[in-house]
Amino acid sequence: MLAVLSPGQGSQKPGFLTPWLALPGAEARLRWWSALAGVDLLHLGTEADADEIKDTARTQPLLVAAALLAAEHLPMHDVALVAGHSVGELGAAALAGVLPAEAAVTLAGVRGREMAAACALEPTGMAAVLGGDPDEVVAVIEAHGLHPANRNGTGQVVAAGPVAGLEKLAAEPPARARVTRLQVAGAFHTPYMAPAEAALAAVAAGITPADPARILLSNLDGSAVNHGREMVQRLVRQVTAPVRWDLCMRTLADLGVTGVIELPPAGTLAGLVKRELKGEGAPEIVTLKTPDDLPAARDLIARHSGLSGHEPVIQFRVVVAPAAGTFEPLAELAEGVDLHAGQVIGHVATRQGPVEVTAHGSGLLTEWLAHHDDPVAPGQPLARIGGHA
């Protein structure tokens, strides 16, 4: 299984979009998206210096546009799973078919402007806590009146909140950990971003999303999301909720992901995956930094998608487990039967009782991916629905 990842804020570098402008239609696409985002993406991606692209209002739409621009040159129909880190979730949602690219770029513009405005309300910031026991680190962060805004795995937790609390954390770090202040405008992914969440919700309410056409992981809890409307709600909520990238990587491992492509500006997420998913079974990784990396990315997709370019492309949707427990498919449903959207295909037995599993689209039940009494985790694929395009 192959995963495509969309990076978040902090991964940008001056001039990183310059080589992409050589591709046909790239400049026109960026001009169109600039009009939607309310910022000059061409300037920001080619001529702007590090300070200019550090501005939250500019950085967020720039990152989403860069990921979508590069993905247009990949055979995304052969990709099984997508995920994004923080604002990168907007790009991932577009690549999963939940949002049109134009909606993702527009929302990134709103998100960036409103989060920048929220940062200006009071002095807050963020700091990376590297090393130490993760649970102890979180406990110390909270004891200083701060929030664990990002849990990135590999011994990295990002604390966020008032500047005074961050200074105290630096003076009294957790055991066996070091604290590094981050050059950001404020406390992202904490309650301090509540005004930005409300503003984004008002705009997002006007969007009519589609259900994901491939597995789409959520930063909220690392689970796969079946329904487009739920994903939009999660995208809005994520402005104030912690980014659980550690749980997203755990899901990559649980699903047996064998290949990973990070979209530009690539490097940060690939590094986290490399450090977290190592040893036997570690995924093969391609960092897509310039168009020169496209052949390697396409080759990785061809080798890890399980689809041959000489066969008809199978368009499918994956139904995933809504909770942890044991799976009980409906006995009368055999592979090959027609299903309709919303039809119950089984349930997951949990300690709190059975949770229904429903088909989120019409089509053929092409394959059961889990069977009677199989233990399942949240987001684990249960069945494949679809047909030939």
Asked if 187 and 198 touch (Cβ cutoff 8 Å), the reply is: no
pLDDT exceeding 70 applies to what percent of the chain? 95
Pairwise pLDDT comparison (92 vs 226), residue with the higher score: 92
pLDDT at position 317: 66
In this structure, what token pair is assigned to residue 34? 């600039």
Within 8 A by CB and 6+ apart from 267, the residues are 7, 11, 287, 289
pLDDT at position 7: 96
Asked if 316 and 342 touch (Cβ cutoff 8 Å), the reply is: no
The two beta strands, 81-84 and 215-216, are parallel
CA 129 – CA 166 distance, rounded (Å): 11
Q: What is the CA radius of gyration of the chain?
A: 21
Q: Tokens 């049109």 appear where?
A: 100
CA 229 – CA 211 distance, rounded (Å): 8
pLDDT exceeding 90 applies to what percent of the chain? 72
Question: Residue 387 above 60 pLDDT?
Answer: no
Question: Residue 200 above 80 pLDDT?
Answer: yes
pLDDT at position 307: 38
User: Is domain 314-388 in CATH 2.40.50.100, yes or no?
Assistant: yes
In this structure, what token pair is assigned to residue 328? 């009980």
CA 121 – CA 174 distance, rounded (Å): 29
For residue 118, name the pLDDT band (cuts at 50, 70, 90): very high
CA 259 – CA 287 distance, rounded (Å): 11
Question: What pTM was computed for the model?
Answer: 0.80
Residue 267: Cβ within 10 Å count: 15
Per-residue pLDDT, averaged over 175-195, amounts to 93
For residue 177, name the pLDDT band (cuts at 50, 70, 90): very high
pLDDT at position 373: 92
pLDDT at position 313: 36
Give catalytic status of residue 86 as yes or no. Answer: yes
Question: Residue 284 above 90 pLDDT?
Answer: yes
**From 85, 144, 147, 189, the catalytic residue:** 189
**From 86, 218, 223, 305, the catalytic residue:** 86
Give catalytic status of residue 6 as yes or no. Answer: no
Q: For 131-137, which contacts have Cβ atoms below 8 Å and span 24 or more sequence positions?
A: 131/155, 131/176, 131/177, 131/178, 132/173, 132/174, 132/175, 132/176, 132/177, 133/174, 133/175, 133/176, 136/174, 136/175, 137/174, 137/177
pLDDT at position 316: 55
CA 114 – CA 45 distance, rounded (Å): 21
Pairwise pLDDT comparison (19 vs 357), residue with the higher score: 19
Q: Do domains 2-118+191-304 and 314-388 have the same CATH topology?
A: no
Per-residue pLDDT, averaged over 268-275, amounts to 94
For residue 72, name the pLDDT band (cuts at 50, 70, 90): very high
Residue among 243, 245, 317, 249 at smallest CA distance from 283:
249
Pairwise pLDDT comparison (183 vs 14), residue with the higher score: 14
- Give pLDDT tens digits for 366-376: 889 889 999 98
Enumerate the domain spans of the chain: 2-118+191-304, 121-182, 314-388
Q: Please, what is the average pLDDT of the chain? A: 90
- Give pLDDT tens digits for 239-267: 999 999 999 998 898 888 999 999 999 99
Fold of 121-182: Alpha-Beta Plaits (3.30.70)
Per-residue pLDDT, averaged over 15-37, amounts to 95
Q: Tokens 């059961």 appear where?
A: 368
Fold of 2-118+191-304: Malonyl-Coenzyme A Acyl Carrier Protein; domain 2 (3.40.366)
In DSSP notation, 66-120 reads: HHHHHHTTS-GGG--EEEESTTHHHHHHHHTTSS-HHHHHHHHHHHHHHHHHHHT
DSSP single-letter state for residue 133: -
Count of alpha carbons within 13 Å of 194, Cβ hemisphere only? Answer: 3
For residue 180, name the pLDDT band (cuts at 50, 70, 90): very high
pLDDT at position 55: 92
DSSP single-letter state for residue 224: B
DSSP single-letter state for residue 323: S
pLDDT at position 128: 94
Question: Residue 388 above 70 pLDDT?
Answer: no
Asked if 26 and 69 touch (Cβ cutoff 8 Å), the reply is: yes
Q: Of 17-31, 180-194, 241-255, 317-331, which range is least confident?
A: 317-331
Question: Residue 310 above 50 pLDDT?
Answer: no
